Amino acid sequence: MRYAETGFNLEIDLSRGSIEKVQTDPRETALYLGGQGMAAKILFERVPAGTDPFSPDNLLIFSTGLLHGTPAPAANRTVVNTFSPQTNLMSHSLFGGFFGPELKYAGYDRIIIRGKAPDLVYLCIHNDKVEIRDAKHLRGKGSTETGDLLKKELKDQKVQVAAIGLAGENRVYMASIEHNHASAARGVGVIMGDKRLKAIAVRGTREVNIAKPAEMFQVCQDIHQKMAASNDCGDWMATDEDDSFHHNHFAWGNARTRIKNYWSDELQERWTRWKYEHMDRQTGCYNCPKKCRNVINWPGKPRFGYKCFGKDTYHMAAFLELDFSYEILGVAQEYGVDSYATPQVIAFALELLEAGILTDKDFPGMPADSRGRFFYLLEKIVRREGIGDILANSVSHAARLIGNGAEAFDHNTTKKFEQLPIKLGKLNPAYFLMIATGEKMSITQIEGSFPQDPLPTPEERKAFVDKWEAVPDEKFKKYFMEWVKRSDISDERTCEIVDWNEAMHYIDDSIGTCGFVSSFRGQFGGGVPYHMNNIPQIIALATGMEMDKARLWKTFQRIRTLVRAVNVKRGLRRKDERPPEDHWAVRDEKYEQELLSKYYAFKGWNEQGIPTRQTLELLDLDYVADELEEDGILSADETGSAAQPVAEPAKI
Amino acid sequence: MALPSKKIVKEIKVDIEKCTGCRACEMACSAFHATPRYSTINPAKSRIRIVADEIRDEYVPLRAADYTPSECTGRHVYLINGKEYSECSFCGASCPSRDYFVEPDSGLPLKCDMCESVPPLAEPMCVQVCGTDALTYVEREEDREQKVQPKRGQIEVGLEYLVQQYGIDAVAESLNELARVKKA
Ligand code: SF4
Ligand code: SF4
Ligand code: SF4
């Protein structure tokens, strides 16, 4: 019997119209857990190096996490992976809500989709009954509207639907996949649209088995209660009305302008009123007591839900106020676009207009005010009309298509992906490494366990570390105690801190737990409910697999290194690992490159950021080394130029 | 045997404004009623269901009540705080009009047993796991009405119906199971 997982993949070929239920090998679960870990393995093995993201051979994988469907609270992040036309690398995308657990209750750990349907279809899953159905009647429908229509069509309110809107249908690079009020960003909607897959509707009424039932239930209930009572998890932005941090520190417009004293009491009072006058309620995700999502009902616009910084991106890009975000977010949700990248694309276009690189002729009929312009350009982009057809390819690609100096306005991307609009003074070494080497494309998907800033007094630091259960190793307490000035920390410690930050995300994204109770949240307050010291036990109780901290750390290293190999196979090299040039005002190229080399060595990668054979073998990834050698990416004599064989799990 | 004139009524109070639709209660109810206990999770077997419609902002935790062989011919539509709710959203019957509260495999009706168990739980499982306090538990004393003992014939009529509906084997199996639980 399989525990925690179902032991089955659902394999769909949309070109051939075939549907297969395929049993999986439990030994792979032990190596890659599930979620992103297993998806990386599948992408590495099954998608040849040169495959165009728009080729039918590209795969689109919807994965449950290993702990989905078990009593583990907040294990509900569905992971979507594919190759993105924007970055040409592995897309990493997550969405909360109810989809992943439902898929598991239907009897599948993941859906692997290849090929392209001749016309728009949707996938309908009810336990063993799986059908590819015509979706022509859903063409042009909004994303949650589609969910609603499918529930009616299938006469079942309990189906969980993930759908694309018009943006995905039109293969807009920023297209998202939406599920109720949750959204899968970072470049996956475009491939769903390319495969002509409008939606997936899933309903499951099967069992998920638990290896050690009573202990698992008890441990999970303890965590559940701790989560419900704690302020150290969930999204504090859902209730904290003081959002001075983002508004005073992040850049407005096309990630360009900082307004240092923007926030005021009067503004906070007004915005709070807007929110509470229009908020229906706060909701959350499957089996989680937190309420991170604010659901807003703005007059005349579709209802929508938002989390975190998602409420700021549109009005900051447009130099407007919160009411504008509230006005446009519901519309953007129905079209299905990434609310982090899209406002930047629009602000970029408006900058080009101001600079004379684009002219009024490129924007026929565009209103004069910022509000009107954003709505105008959103419409153009999701329909790929006129200039929208170029902008729909994201900032980086649009800049190259437009030419004529537009490239210089593409100043906030890394690996061709729009970054958070952060423009600061002095280089922060840990953030340099995270943005440079991260393969999850957004800093929010990389940072999160070690605090962003030191605490001012030794007493405060002491109080912090005394209750810090999340540290994988006591040494991190020492680092924190001795840390006084933000950038004043040794490179070795920086590498270890970045590694720990990454570790938690790679684990979350493989077991399906939410970053707000785990990987992302420890940096604020330290007291996250999930960490390296309790996750191994939970995995062991749920699955019956042997698991302890050292094993889990090695599993993180294996998955992380495999993701690197997946991308290296597609051409990722050192030259691509650069934060935006103006991310910090003061830069030191020589120091940065030295630090990057040190981090590569720490990870067991060579000077190009390619994992060495020695590293790969230590992580049971011999087949990866073989393939990279065959492809001429690793040379056979390059047995391990790494300064230290990091892969030793004993380090933790 | 004379019954005591007072009885304890167990109540779960539901504050639908507080419910986030997280379905932790469904997860926990299904775990508690699995054999062995907690060994499987399947919200479709839960005796509490969240009637949820995120798009219309409807979240109603509903506790499984009795089986009914036929659906209502007419239903109220309730207008509460400007939102429309079907009467079904508040009805706990396992009923042919929907697949709430039926065993997904056998089709047999499920019913909330208030987590009766030995030793008894301090609070029903769904209440214990509800992290938003949408569910709270109260015990209340109530005067007992003089209960009319049903005549044997009435029970048989009911059983006959169930046999027609599900076949003798399924009914016998669930009777045995029920007897086992009640006598335990
Ligand atoms: S912490 Fe918030 S975002 Fe995460 S699962 Fe819970 S409700 Fe969802
Ligand atoms: S009281 Fe017990 S049996 Fe009834 S719904 Fe709640 S958990 Fe289920
Ligand atoms: S656990 Fe509480 S908040 Fe969650 S769905 Fe059940 S009743 Fe609602």
Which chain B residues are within 8 Å of A98, Cβ to Cβ?
23
Q: How far apart are CA A387 and CA A410, in angstroms?
A: 16
Beta partners for residue B8, in sequence order: B141
Map tokens 């994201």 to a residue.
A394
Beta partners for residue B154, in sequence order: none
One fold for both A1-234+425-549 and A243-289+291-418?
A: no
The CATH code for residues A1-234+425-549 is 3.60.9.10
Smallest Cα–Cα separation from B104: which of A156, A124, A133?
A: A156
User: What stretches in chain A show pLDDT beneath 50?
Assistant: 640-652
Closest residue in chain A to residue B39, using alpha carbons only: A213
Q: How far apart are CA A421 and CA A251, in angstroms?
A: 5
Which chain B residues are within 8 Å of A307, Cβ to Cβ?
none
pLDDT tops 80 at residue B184: no
C-alpha pair distances (Å), A356 with each of A146, A349, A395, A406, B96 = 40, 11, 17, 10, 66
pLDDT tops 80 at residue B150: no
Element (H, E) at B77: strand B77-80
The tens digit of pLDDT for each residue in A521-552 reads 999 999 999 999 999 999 999 999 999 999 99
The SS3 call for residue A19 is: strand
pLDDT score at A204 = 98
Q: Which residues surround ligand 1 with Cβ inside 6 Å?
A: A 74, 76, 96, 234-235, 284-285, 288, 290, 292, 514, 516-517
pLDDT score at A642 = 45
Looking at CA atoms only, how far is residue A577 from chain B in angstroms?
Answer: 40
Encode A394-411: b = buried (16+ Cβ within 10 Å), e = exposed.
bbbbbbeebeeebeebbb
pLDDT tops 50 at residue B88: yes
Map tokens 């950021």 to a residue.
A609
Count of residues for chain A?
Answer: 652
pLDDT score at B182 = 79
Those residues whose C-beta lies under 8 Å from the C-beta of residue A622, and which sit 6 or more positions away, are A616
pLDDT tops 70 at residue B86: yes
Radius of gyration of chain B from its Cα atoms, rounded to whole angstroms: 18
Q: Where are the domains of chain A?
A: 1-234+425-549, 243-289+291-418
- Dihedral over Cα of A330, A251, A173, A567: its sign: negative
pLDDT tops 80 at residue B38: yes
Q: How far apart are CA A423 and CA A256, in angstroms?
A: 8
* Mean pLDDT, residues B156-162: 81
Query: Ligand 1, atom 7: nearest CA belongs to which residue?
Result: A284
Residues A222, A541 contacting (CB under 8 angstroms): no
Flag if A206 and B129 touch (Cβ within 8 Å). Answer: no
* φ/ψ (deg, to 5) at B155: -60, -40
The tens digit of pLDDT for each residue in B99-115 reads 889 999 888 999 999 99
Residues A147, A180 contacting (CB under 8 angstroms): yes
Encode A62-77: b = buried (16+ Cβ within 10 Å), e = exposed.
bbbbbbbbbbbbbbbb
Flag if A221 and B128 touch (Cβ within 8 Å). Answer: yes
Query: Amino acid identity, residue B112?
Result: C
**Within its chain, how far is the Cα of A489 from the centroid?**
28
Choosing among 1.20.120.1230, 3.20.20.70, 3.40.50.10490, 1.10.569.10, the CATH entry for A243-289+291-418 is 1.10.569.10
Beta partners for residue B62, in sequence order: B49
pLDDT tops 50 at residue B67: yes
pTM to 2 decimals?
0.93
pLDDT score at A652 = 45
Smallest Cα–Cα separation from A570: which of A40, A185, A110, A33?
A: A40
Q: How far apart are CA A94 and CA A185, in angstroms?
A: 7
pLDDT score at A20 = 98
Q: Which residues surround ligand 3 with Cβ inside 6 Å?
A: B 19-25, 50, 61, 129-130, 132, 134-135
Flag if A221 and B52 touch (Cβ within 8 Å). Answer: no
Is the CB of residue B163 less than 8 Å away from at least one CB of chain A? Answer: no
Residues A435, A583 contacting (CB under 8 angstroms): yes
Band of pLDDT at residue B152, cut at 50, 70 and 90: low
Q: DSSP 3-state helix, strand, coil percentages of chain B (rounded to 5)?
A: 30, 25, 45
Which chain B residues are within 8 Å of A280, Cβ to Cβ?
57
Is the CB of residue B20 less than 8 Å away from at least one CB of chain A? Answer: yes
Residues B20, A295 contacting (CB under 8 angstroms): no
Which chain B residues are within 8 Å of A292, Cβ to Cβ?
none
Flag if B20 and A287 touch (Cβ within 8 Å). Answer: no
Q: What interface predicted TM-score (ipTM) does this complex get? A: 0.94
